[in-house]
Structure 1
């Protein structure tokens, strides 16, 4: 009964939030869902909601999956050499850019661990993946974040650095929210990648 009451209250609140946000023309992602869920759970049970892993942006495991899909797609069209550099294009600094920068840091940490033969576990991605590096992952050097100033991007929110990160990512290192590159739109982002990779 307690759980059903919790669900009813949760969805009632969620629909109210959706209505308010639709009027004000604001957008939010699954981070808002987590905040609502955590707060409602605590209010009803008196305990913090405990989850063991987060899937979805900005979690590194999501970018790891995207990395795997890039390699799989490349192999399916006959590209057999390893992917050295990844580029993550997004319009949201709190999920796309933050997640890409986290994954870039993960790749750098992996490379360091391999060179030093370390097997320390730092974050949940290592716990989920284990200490062994996949063959397709070994040669990837970086994941560069590219912010596009379209979609949910807003200079006001970008400048204010509002904190919408899931609880497990707090406190956020501010430098992880800054993109490596900023361009006007996706077409310019693709042009930038082609330029960086020296495609004419």
Structure 2
């Protein structure tokens, strides 16, 4: 019988979770009566938790983010590539750790092909099974004949080579598993493994969806002011900083293209709505103008100097840990700001926004 549908290596997906307020929405309640024009994208491992241990600064940070009633004053999305547990279980853990109401999790459609969510427990078994499926075009119980190419669609949802848990040293992640799979496939077939899509940090599509959730959250809270700026807080230069900077470049480029093309004028015409028109309309409705990367020193990245006083410091690394399908650009791993922990990151953003 043909093996179609989803083949999973591990559990989970690059999570996009909205932090829910306690009680009914605070309709327009915010600092000084002024609605926020900014939001936060928080990485989880190495920023808020280290394995099962909460980073002490995380509780302080969320005390600043919530009002006296425990309601969030600023829209927040948890943006993580972690795939070592179910979304619902991780949401419960985060809520308990940070003193929040359980964040809702979003569903994802089933995709036919091979879907790689996160590193499995037994790598050799998963590598063998996935290789069998790709070489047999979804019929692993049949004898090997002509190797199909292109192979079945492969979707990877986490490209992190390293991540931080309780251990002092970084742990190898799903990006390392993908590296193994890519090399095995090429060694066996002589051809490159191709991905239908790469989702999760640092992919731009992940940040675009996160921005959509941020704006949706603000509207549900009654903050009828467009979210103009995002602050992406992470501990990994190769995924968190790279992704935020890549998205920031995308925002700049999209804005310039829209201005040059005179999109606002063309969207007012009565011409048929082509695919390009629909895409440009979505870009016009996206209020986000910038995404600043804030690097913390409680996870993969460490700094021995007086970090809190330093901003816009180069974090260029000599070895590129990113996925092979992403080009290495030293400027993309240079954080906008480097701070000691997530509490300092929140304070920095509040100061830039003149937010009490």
Superposition TM-score tier, normalisation by shorter sequence: 0.7 to 0.9
**Contact 2:244-2:291 within 8 A present in 1 as well:** yes
Query: Aligned in 2, Cα 1:80/1:23: closer, same or farther, shift over 3 Å?
Result: closer
Larger Rg: 2
The residue number in structure 2 matching 1:15 is none
Q: Does 1:78 align with 2:222?
A: yes
**Contact 1:27-1:152 within 8 A present in 2 as well:** no
TM-aligned CA deviation for residue 136 of structure 1: 4.3
Q: Does 1:169 align with 2:326?
A: yes
Where is the helix percentage greater, Structure 1 or Structure 2?
1
* Other structure's SS at 2:193 match: coil
The residue number in structure 1 matching 2:200 is 56
1:183 to 297, 322, 339: 339
* Other structure's SS at 1:32 match: helix
Q: Does 1:109 align with 2:253?
A: yes
TM-score normalised by length of structure 2: 0.45
**Contact 2:231-2:293 within 8 A present in 1 as well:** yes
Query: Aligned in 2, Cα 1:133/1:161: closer, same or farther, shift over 3 Å?
Result: farther
Query: Aligned in 2, Cα 1:47/1:105: closer, same or farther, shift over 3 Å?
Result: same
**Contact 2:254-2:283 within 8 A present in 1 as well:** no
TM-aligned CA deviation for residue 173 of structure 1: 1.0
The residue number in structure 1 matching 2:187 is 43
Alpha-carbon RMSD: 3.0
The residue number in structure 2 matching 1:18 is none
Superposed CA offset, 1:59-99 (max 9, x none): 11111111111111111111121111111000000000000
The residue number in structure 2 matching 1:91 is 235
Where is the strand percentage greater, Structure 1 or Structure 2?
2
**Separation (CA, whole Å) in 2 of partners of 1:151 and 1:11:** 32
TM-aligned CA deviation for residue 133 of structure 1: 2.9
**Separation (CA, whole Å) in 2 of partners of 1:130 and 1:7:** 42
Query: Aligned in 2, Cα 1:9/1:77: closer, same or farther, shift over 3 Å?
Result: closer
The residue number in structure 1 matching 2:290 is 142
**Separation (CA, whole Å) in 1 of partners of 2:208 and 2:348:** 22
* Other structure's SS at 2:295 match: strand
Unaligned runs of 5+ in 1: 13-21, 120-126
**Contact 1:68-1:136 within 8 A present in 2 as well:** no
Aligned length: 177
TM-score normalised by length of structure 1: 0.77
The residue number in structure 2 matching 1:133 is 282
Query: Aligned in 2, Cα 1:91/1:134: closer, same or farther, shift over 3 Å?
Result: same
**Contact 2:316-2:333 within 8 A present in 1 as well:** no
**Separation (CA, whole Å) in 2 of partners of 1:9 and 1:50:** 18
